[in-house]
Every structure is written in C-alpha cells, then in structure tokens.
Structure 1
Amino acid sequence: MSEAFVDDAIDFMRDCQQQRKPFFLYYGIAQPHVDVYSNFGFRSSSKRGRYGDMIREMSWSVGAIMDEVKRLGEDSNTISIFTADNGPHLQLCNEGGDAGVLKGGKMQFWDGGIRVPGIFRWTGHIPPAKISDEVVSQFPTLMSIVGGSVPDDRKMDGQDISSTLFNWSPEPKPEPVAEKQLQLQRACGKGQ
C-alpha cells in the first residue's frame, strides 16, 4: 500500500508541475498506528520487530516523496512538515511505540500522549539542522507564512511561531503547568 500511495503522490506533484499549478499534498501515513501490514521488502529489517519494520517503511515513503520534490526543482518553493497526531499506543506494548522517559501515550494528556515530533523544512527559508523545544501550533504559524489570518470569531488554540522557524529567536513561553503546580505545592508545604 505504501508504494501505491507514494506513486500517487509523485504523479500528483508531476501533474501539478506540468500544469504550472502550486500544490498542497497531505500524505497521511498509516504506519505506525497498529501493525496492520509491512511491505515484504521491510519485513524483518529492524531489531525493533514489526513496529521497527513499519518505521523503516514510513521513512522510505517520506524519503521517496522528498526526493521527488527535489527532482522537480520545487525544494525552495515547498514547505514540508512531518508530525504526528499523538504519542504511542501503549496498549499494544512493543508493537505500539514508546514515549521514552515521558509518561503516557495515545488518548492520554500526559506529555507522552501529546508531545510528538515536529519537523519543518523549507529550503532557503528555514535554517537547517536547528532544534527548538518550543511548543508548536501549526495552524497560526502556517496562516502567518502564507499571509492569511486566523479567524477571530472563535477561540483558537496556539500561537504563531514563525519567528522561531525563520530566525530561531525564542517565542515568549507561558509558565509550564508543572512548574505552577510545584510552586503551589511548595506554598502549601508539600513540595521539596
């Protein structure tokens, strides 16, 4: 299935380029939600078992699409974002991923359930190989980049972090909830 999705994505990008039209490609990766399949070429390729095999297949598919963006000469015109919607599916044990030292996973609001990777790439615009620990909210940031505006008729969660992406100047951070709780505990004589 991954090969078919990659082929469709590449055909779509080529068609857009031939028609001289900009494109928006959302590539929703099935891996590694659950171990539903793994392409024969990736089976038993990882020390991490079937879960690791799926991660390798996912990596291949993203790499193939990014290689095509470069081949089309659209690298400096394309914003690529790689992210996840939740942490590991802990109920599946080793087949569901691992949050490392973070507590929690999928369907939980602990850090292990909501802290996911966020990789932004835009050649010539976003400096490469930089790491930030800023909290990212994609919608306000992308609206700022494309010159749009965030609706003001409803409460929107998140803030524009484009200056962090482009200049690596830290955004103002709200005080972490855990730190507020610790301060409250200390005030009550419970914290160390």
Structure 2
Amino acid sequence: MDIWTYQSVEYVTVAGEAWLASASEYPRSMRALWQSRPWAPSVLPCGRVFDVISMPSLFGRRVLDELWASGPGCGPVALFRGRTLLFVQPGAAPRLRTLLAWEEWAREVPPLLCHGAGDAVTVPPVQRMVDAPDSPGQGAGRWIVAPDTREPWLPGAATVLWACVRASRGQAACDGPLPAPADLDGEPDPLPSA
C-alpha cells in the first residue's frame, strides 16, 4: 500500500477536531478559534494527548509506507514545511529518542525531531479552503491522514522504531549493503556466515 496515493483522509472530521482540541489546555477556546479561522495552522502542546515525531519528508514517506505495507498502519500524519509529522502515543517521543541513541543501527536513521511533554508543534489547518486559493495559511501544510475519531490509534515508540529501521534498511539496500554493526569496543562485529 502507498499511503500517499490512497490511504489519505485530508479533512479533519468533527470528532477528529475534538481530539486535536483536547490536547490544548483550553479545548473550547481552540475550537472557537478554528471556527473563526479554519484555514489557519495552530500550535498545540505535545505530551498530553499525543507526541509528534518530525522527520524529513522523503524519509517520512518511506516510514509511512512501511507502517501501511507491513505494519499496523498509523494515526494522524501531516506535512508541514517540508517535514512529515507522525502523531504517536504520549511518552513515545522520549522513548524513541532513547532507543535510537542506544541501538547500533541508529546511525542509519536520519535525525528525527521527537516532540514530547513540554514541546509544542504547529499543525496544519483543520479545513482546506479549496475554493479560496489566496486565503491565508494555504501553504501552511496539509493533512495526509487527518484525525477522524475521538480516539485515533497512535503508534508507540517500538512500532515507529521498527518502521524507521525498515525504511532505512530499504534505502540502504538501494544504496548498497549496510555496514556491520559496531560492538561495544567500537570494532565492527564479524558478519554472520550464511
């Protein structure tokens, strides 16, 4: 499956809007803002309802393809200023950051921005103004998979790590063989015999 061609839900539903607003300390004010300016991007805090993993868009596409093709799928996903924003379980961002630093193949994964508690992210508008191309915020990003329920399924750190490694190895297979993982002493481990 290719999420970029057909698993796309680009418009935030009323239930999805309620879920997004619940991340704010003042959900009713957030919904009122969206009602008056549905075309404007918004800043929402991470850590309460979701964390966000921000990755380069091309790598993000490969990660999402992995999640859909051979994994469980994903929850909300947005594109914003050349980055893919993957919404994940609260607490997944610091855990993923730790796992990436610990694992021997982390050097194969491009740098990810892991936004968790204490961070905030800019999310695309809740509505796309198709009939008004000159409206403010039109270039502010878009939803690839928009929130559509009050409780969307969000991947955890292990699922995202798995998809990142698979996406990295898939790219590395195109670029050549992966280097042998380094042992604790910094020397490459011998490759296993076939």
Report the TM range for the smaller structure's normalisation. Answer: under 0.3
In terms of fraction of residues, the more helix-rich structure is 1
TM-score by length of 1: 0.26
- Higher RCO (CA < 8 A, seq sep 6+): 2
- Higher CA-based Rg: 1
The two structures have a TM-score, normalised by structure 2, of 0.26
Whichever structure has more strand as a proportion of its residues is 2
